[in-house]
Amino acid sequence: MTSQQILADMATALVSGKIEIVDLTAPLGPDTPILHLPPDFAKNTPKFKMHEISAYDQNGPWWAWGWMELGEHTGTHFDAPSHWISGKDVPENTTDTVPVKNFVAPCAVIDCAAEVAADPDFLLTKEHVQAWEAKHGDIQPGTWVLLRSDWYHRNTSTEAFLNADENGSHTPGPSVDCVQYLVEKNVMGFGSECVGTDAGNAAGFTPPFPAHSLLLGIGRYGLASLTNLDKLPPTGAMLVVAPLKIIGGTGSPVRALAIVPRD
């Protein structure tokens, strides 16, 4: 089949609904949950804020527009390699230099919803990934690996989303050996429904924050605060996720879309 035919068939399937577009993006607004780092890293990212320039009024009689106060790592967002010290010198490591072909890639969805419901500190291990592969096939290079936790249902409450107590944040993520395995597989990156790609207690891992440190360190990427992963098949969907082309950006909010076969 020619590539022209593939795209023509895709257009037909989109119109008929045999291929569906699923929105993996959380709404972006003043109530969007923001990461809270421990007090020894006192400087946190600010909450999203929209400032009005005009609203069809004396400031602009025929138009409405605003300007935003927006952290790079806010809401559903992309982590570029330069976000982490391990990725600071890798080539094409900022939002404006990441090769655009990496913004369209297949995804493997690992369903951990039941495990996370039983234990919010659940860690996805190498063994879990290998068990998934035994069922669904080996994860190929350049594939996004997404942890389905159903955590996105908590996204409307910062408290429930961060799930913190005096011992820190209780949210799922990958173990160190899991991320090492994903590095060996040369995946496109790791995606999570939680506020960041790493588990809530990942500051204490060796290395700390492995999804950040190891994957960004090899020039790969992260996706955080994804939604609707329960609407994706384990394999066969394609992600379209592109950060804003911020010059030197370490990350960016995204509109994350999945192209999903439905027949």
Nearer to ligand 23J, 195 or 239 (CB): 195
Site string for ligand 23J, 69-98 (x = CB under 6 A): ----x-----x---x---------------
Q: Which entry of 73, 77, 83, 212 is annotated as an active-site residue? A: 83
Nearer to ligand 23J, 191 or 196 (CB): 196
Distance CA 6, CA 188 (A): 23
Interacting partner of 132 out of Mn ion, ligand 23J, none (Cβ under 5 to 8 A depending on kind): none
User: Measured in Å, how far apart are the chain's first and last C-alpha atoms?
Assistant: 20
193 binds ligand 23J (CB under 6 A): no
Active site residue 153: no
Nearer to ligand 23J, 132 or 209 (CB): 209
Q: Which helix (H) or strand (E) holds 136?
A: helix 126-136
Count the residues of the shown chain that bind ligand 23J, applying the rule CB under 6 A: 9
Under 8 Å between Cβ of 174 and 249: no
- The residue within the footprint of ligand 23J, chosen from 35, 104, 164, 218 (CB under 6 A), is 35
Closest CA to 169 of 195, 140, 132: 195
List of residues contacting Mn ion (CB under 5 A): 73, 79, 251
As annotated, the active-site residues are 83
